[in-house]
């Protein structure tokens, strides 16, 4: 095959056209039928096998179902691909074989053709891109599940990025989610009952509806911009309101290096350690001060500068925390530090982690998790996140957790908070930073928290 032919094939693969409603329906229906059939076949055949062989075959079936789901979601883009990205870290309700397959969706998606993007901008802002902007780069700067980003220049000379939502994504959101939930249940992949699965998907749907509303994202970005504009170490782009709409969002261009470039020699160990401090402060600040969680910790949503500064992108998925959740979270962390497991039990009930009326775990069980989670805070030397095995230690405990499902449940209010923490733990590992953050944690825990009655949550986060 000639290089020219290869180039044409690659171009066709790398530029996707929108999938219409009928095509989406049949692709999702086919996916559901496939994974359901796979599940039924495995269950029947396992009746005649040893427990060891049945477990091995079940894992293989989960892997095959996960690959089929990931392939379909990647082809469709939109809401289902975004949910697939979210589900890739949902180890508490999905088997490892599925989450491993879904993790492939975290990679950058193929872009849409420029003609599709130009039509969407004209429909939203009333004119062609080159009529609105002094200059508009027709090549995408980045592409994701529900939209893509282009660089542009304002008439006043400021550099900006323009985020454009793919056509029809918002219209297919609810039906896509319904199909995906059906596929998860039909495949035997989920580890929770129907009611809990419905609660998880309802929370995801609420956040997705916000993420698909770029006017909502603009409000979120403005909140973060105002909060961090005078704080060192964190940079948030400013919204250009006059060139934004429900499906187009224009922000000031804030450059930085991608996470994979945060390495020697440009980024010394000292600078990487400073980035680690800024990351940890960012997490604590969102929980205990701003009480708004940037719920998409994908490395692509952050950039870095060689003075230790972190640039934040993408404010579509923001979860505003209720005051009672913040207070319960603070109390639970403090109780864990002090090894007061009766207070930990109260906190987990308040957070929705423990099932009301379920069997009460013994203090020794909580201590196992406490010793793992608090390892970075209790040792004298700076903790080396680059060699951390905390995630693997937790994975070893998963079989025991599954045996205690009568005691625990997926904490609906903590889905995005947990996602943020797990994601940034991964980011700290990737930049191989070292740090002892106990003093920073205690600083935030010491902040007075108002009574829940004084809680005021922005209306678009309800």
pLDDT digits (tens, 9 = 90+) for 386-398: 999 999 999 888 8
Provide the CB-side half-sphere exposure for 448 (13 A, CA). Answer: 3
Contact criterion met (CB below 8 Å) for 435 and 383: yes
452-461: pLDDT as tens digits: 764 444 544 4
Residue 93 near residue 192 (C-beta atoms within 8 A):
yes
- Mean pLDDT over 221-227 rounds to 98
Q: What is the CB-side half-sphere exposure of residue 428 using CA atoms within 13 A?
A: 30
pLDDT of the residue at 187: 65
CA nearest to 233, candidates 284, 171, 167, 165: 284
Whose structure tokens read 């129907």? 194
Tell me what pLDDT residue 4 has: 45
Query: What is the model's pTM?
Result: 0.76
* Residue 13 pLDDT > 50: no
Q: Give mean pLDDT, residues 230-256.
A: 97
Task: Determine what percent of the chain is predicted with pLDDT higher than 90.
Answer: 55
Pick 154 or 182 by higher pLDDT.
Answer: 154
Q: What is the DSSP letter of 69?
A: H
Q: What is the pLDDT of residue 389?
A: 95
What pLDDT was estimated at residue 8? Answer: 45
Average per-residue pLDDT in the chain? 85
Please give the angle made by the CA atoms of 65, 69 and 75, to the nearest 5 degrees. Answer: 150
- Backbone phi and psi for residue 10, each to the nearest 5 degrees, phi listed first: -65, -40
140-150 mean pLDDT: 86
Instruction: Give the pLDDT of residue 7.
Output: 44
| Residues 343, 329: Cα–Cα separation, whole Å | 11
CB-CB contact of 63 with 83 (8 Å): no
Residue range 265-288: mean pLDDT, rounded: 98
Q: What are phi and psi of 188, to 5 degrees?
A: 70, 20
Mean pLDDT to the nearest integer, 262-274:
97
When pLDDT is averaged across residues 155-184 and rounded to a whole number, the result is 85
Q: Pick the closest to residue 219 from 13, 460, 425 (CA basis).
A: 460
Least confidently predicted of 197-206, 277-286, 419-428:
197-206
Range in 68-82, 135-149, 277-291 the model is least confident about? 68-82
pLDDT band for position 64 (50/70/90)?
A: confident
Looking at the chain, the whole-number percentage of residues with pLDDT higher than 70 is 79
Between CA 293 and CA 440 the distance in angstroms is 18
CA distance 316 to 300: 14
Distance between CA atoms of residues 147 and 64, nearest Å: 28
DSSP 300: G
């Amino acid at each position: 095959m000639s290089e020219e032919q290869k180039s044409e094939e690659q171009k066709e693969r790398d530029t996707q056209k929108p999938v219409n409603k009928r095509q989406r329906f049949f692709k999702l229906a086919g996916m559901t039928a496939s994974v359901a059939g796979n599940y039924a076949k495995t269950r029947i055949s396992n009746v005649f096998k040893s427990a060891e062989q049945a477990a091995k075959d079940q894992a293989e079936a989960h892997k095959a179902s996960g690959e089929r789901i990931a392939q379909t979601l990647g082809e469709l883009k939109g809401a289902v691909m975004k949910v697939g990205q979210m589900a890739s870290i949902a180890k508490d309700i999905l088997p490892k074989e599925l989450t491993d397959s879904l993790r492939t969706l975290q990679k950058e998606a193929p872009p849409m053709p420029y003609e599709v993007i130009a039509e969407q901008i004209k429909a939203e802002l009333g004119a062609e891109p080159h009529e609105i902007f002094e200059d508009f780069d027709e090549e995408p700067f980045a592409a994701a599940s529900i939209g893509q980003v282009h660089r542009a220049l304002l008439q006043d000379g400021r550099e900006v990025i323009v985020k454009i939502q793919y056509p029809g994504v918002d219209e297919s959101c609810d039906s896509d989610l319904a199909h995906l939930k059906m596929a998860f249940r039909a495949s035997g992949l989920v580890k929770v009952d129907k009611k809990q699965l419905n609660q998880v998907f309802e929370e995801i749907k609420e956040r997705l509806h916000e993420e698909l509303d770029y006017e909502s994202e603009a409000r979120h970005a403005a909140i973060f911009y105002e909060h961090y504009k005078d704080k060192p170490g964190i940079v948030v782009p400013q919204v250009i309101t006059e060139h934004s709409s429900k499906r187009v969002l224009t922000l000031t261009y804030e450059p930085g290096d991608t996470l994979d470039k945060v390495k020697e020699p440009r980024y010394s160990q000292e600078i990487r350690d400073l980035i680690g401090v800024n990351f940890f402060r960012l997490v604590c600040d969102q929980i205990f001060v701003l009480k708004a969680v940037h719920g998409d910790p994908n490395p692509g949503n952050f950039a870095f500068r060689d003075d230790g500064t972190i640039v934040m992108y993408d404010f579509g998925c923001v979860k505003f925390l209720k005051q009672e959740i913040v207070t319960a979270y603070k109390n639970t962390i403090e109780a864990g530090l002090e090894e007061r497991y009766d207070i930990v039990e109260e906190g987990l009930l308040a957070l929705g982690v423990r099932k009301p009326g379920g069997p009460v775990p013994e203090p020794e069980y909580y201590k196992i998790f406490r010793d793992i989670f608090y390892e970075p805070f209790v040792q004298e030397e700076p903790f080396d996140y680059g060699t951390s095995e905390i995630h693997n230690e937790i994975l070893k405990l998963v079989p025991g957790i599954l045996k205690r499902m009568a005691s625990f449940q997926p904490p609906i209010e903590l889905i995005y908070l947990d996602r943020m923490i797990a994601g940034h733990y991964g980011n700290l590992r990737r930049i191989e930073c070292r740090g002892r953050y106990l003093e920073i944690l205690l600083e935030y825990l010491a902040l007075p928290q108002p009574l829940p009655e004084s809680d005021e949550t922005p209306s678009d986060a309800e």
